[in-house]
Amino acid sequence: MGIFKACDVRGAYGQDLTDDIVYRIGRALGTLAGGRTVIVGGDVRISTPALKSALTRGLTESGAEVLDIGTVPTPAFYFARHYLKADVGTMITASHNPPEFNGLKLTLGTLPITEEELDSVGRLAESGHFSHGNGSLLTTDIIPAYESFMQSVAPRAAQAASFKIVIDCGNGCYSEPAPAVFRSFGYRTEELFCTPDGTFPNRSPNSAAPESLAALCRKVRDTGAHLGVAFDGDGDRVAFVDDRGRFLTSDKAIVILARHILNNNSGVKVVYDLKCSSVVPEAVTQAGGIPIPERSGHTFIKTRMIVEEAVFGGEISGHYFYRELRGGDDGLYSALLMAGILAAGGCRLSDLADSIAEYATTPDIRLPFSGDGEQIIARIADHFPTADVSKLDGVKVSFPGGWGLARISVTEPAITLRFEAENGDRLREIVDVFLEPAPELHEPVVMAISHAASGESGDDT
């Protein structure tokens, strides 16, 4: 099944992802659950109720005890698994993808699901070798307990009443819980797109795309707010806008959060996305932490967080992970933490952002490619000294003053590339050297970089 990706299940509803397919996935998951309780939640997408019905039917027919926690943000789903003491679960969501998509985030145990486990679910769903039983379906409202948990773990600032924040929920899952929690912390709040609507009529559910947050940037400037926060469709990602109405890159957000967390935690580990700017490991080291690179993806970062017992983790797409959340990520917790840092310290996000070094970094460059992408990756890796090459995810080559990265996309037939250097001239040099063993990629990469520089770049989903 092409809908099975590296970390989850994802596809266009009614085409790649149908009610019947999800029913069969429910039968497979129920078979693997072996009569255990299975937590099921869903996002606000129009297709979610039908998919949830098909999933729960499959689960119960395989003998599972299903506990439906309703329409919730993904972080509340992960909280529910721990709170309700149930390791197996499914969140129906396509996260930041466009409205016509949907998907499943599956869990089978205490650690995030692996690619091998996902493959086993897919094979079982195709084979039809299901267990049979007469399971049950109960419902519960997890949001009050989740909100109480946020109020107990997130930092509070005595200065909250003088701190103004604009909350852009993008009509997604946090539309009701996020403003309520921020008000309970005493912050002055302005709401933007905080009515749940699975068609996402006001902006893309992808909060990591700066062009999606134009309305939030204007609102912050027009209201004189200290901070803007934007959540993606299911709430596990968050993006920040500073007091000048500027989008804050995730690299800088990771640095600000890491410096705060490491202030009283020297010698501890911080996991970061392999695609992050070099400013991230440099800042972690300077703050007394131990930076640990990991391949992009929720499953990989969270698993590394747990295995390494790290205090913090950051992914370039806007996922931030915490020891306090058992290695998990939570957009609302991250927003509360950032607001607390600024309000308690009496500092402006714009000043913190401007104090962080910037390198010349390209966005993700996605080149459609139907040939043997792995052969190209191997060609690049073999061309450079082994000491300069990382194969953690594709191939990343370190050069004096920068690096280049090429990897196979997990969502489409494409090669994804990214480059960074200390300045624009060095960036062009690194691109040329990195692509010497793959000359067929050189022209499209140079064109993509040129388009990005002129504001024509697209989003990496």
Q: Could you give the residue numbers annotated as active site?
A: 10, 95, 319
**Arithmetic mean of pLDDT, 230-239:** 98
- Kindly report, residue by residue over 329-351, the tens digit of the pLDDT: 999 999 999 999 999 999 999 99
Q: Which CATH architecture has domain 250-354?
A: 3-Layer(aba) Sandwich (3.40)
Q: How confident is the model at residue 411 (pLDDT cuts 50, 70, 90)?
A: low
Please tell me the distance from the alpha carbon of residue 297 to that of residue 6, in angstroms, as a whole number: 8
- Kindly report, residue by residue over 165-194, the tens digit of the pLDDT: 999 999 999 999 999 999 999 999 999 999
Q: How confident is the model at residue 1 (pLDDT cuts 50, 70, 90)?
A: low
Question: 250-354: same fold as 9-145?
Answer: yes
Q: How confident is the model at residue 459 (pLDDT cuts 50, 70, 90)?
A: very low
Strands (E), 179-266: 188-192, 227-231, 238-241, 247-248
Could you please report the per-residue DSSP string of 25-67? HHHHHHHHHTT-EEEEEE-S-TTHHHHHHHHHHHHHHTT-EEE
Which of 346, 301, 320 shows the shortest CA–CA distance to 254?
320
Which of 167, 358, 348 shows the shortest CA–CA distance to 242?
348
Contacts of 412 (CB under 8 A, 6+ apart): 366, 368
Which of 330, 323, 401, 415 shows the shortest CA–CA distance to 370?
415
Quick count: other Cβ atoms within 10 Å of Cβ 195?
Answer: 12
Report pLDDT for 195.
98
Top-confidence residue, 36 or 409: 36
Contacts of 378 (CB under 8 A, 6+ apart): 395
CATH superfamily for 161-246 is Alpha-D-Glucose-1,6-Bisphosphate, subunit A, domain 3 (3.40.120.10)
Could you please report the per-residue DSSP string of 155-202? ---TTGGG-EEEEE-TTSTTTTHHHHHHHHTT-EEEEES-S--TT--S
Task: Say which DSSP state 96 is in.
Answer: T
Residue 275 main-chain phi, psi, to 5 deg: -85, -5
Please tell me the distance from the alpha carbon of residue 14 to that of residue 1, in angstroms, as a whole number: 14
Tokens standing for residue 175 = 């539309």
Contacts of 359 (CB under 8 A, 6+ apart): 277, 278, 279, 402, 420, 421, 422
Q: Give Cα 432 to chain centroid, integer Å.
A: 31
Q: Which CATH class is domain 9-145?
A: alpha beta
pTM value is 0.95
Please tell me the distance from the alpha carbon of residue 294 to that of residue 258, in angstroms, as a whole number: 16
Using CA of residue 402, residue 366, residue 74, residue 30, what is the dihedral sign? negative
For β-strands 136-139 and 65-71, DSSP reports them as parallel
Contacts of 127 (CB under 8 A, 6+ apart): none
**Arithmetic mean of pLDDT, 153-171:** 97
Q: Any idea where the domains of the chain sit in the sequence?
A: 9-145, 161-246, 250-354, 360-453
Contacts of 270 (CB under 8 A, 6+ apart): 258, 261, 262, 284, 289, 290, 291, 292, 310, 311, 312, 313, 314
Report pLDDT for 456.
45
Report pLDDT for 414.
87
- Kindly report, residue by residue over 68-120, the tens digit of the pLDDT: 999 999 999 999 999 999 999 999 999 999 999 999 999 999 999 999 999 99
Side-chain-facing half-sphere of 162: CA atoms under 13 Å: 9
CATH of region 360-453: 3.30.310.50
Side-chain-facing half-sphere of 335: CA atoms under 13 Å: 36
The rounded percent of the chain whose pLDDT value lies above 70 is 98
Report pLDDT for 163.
98
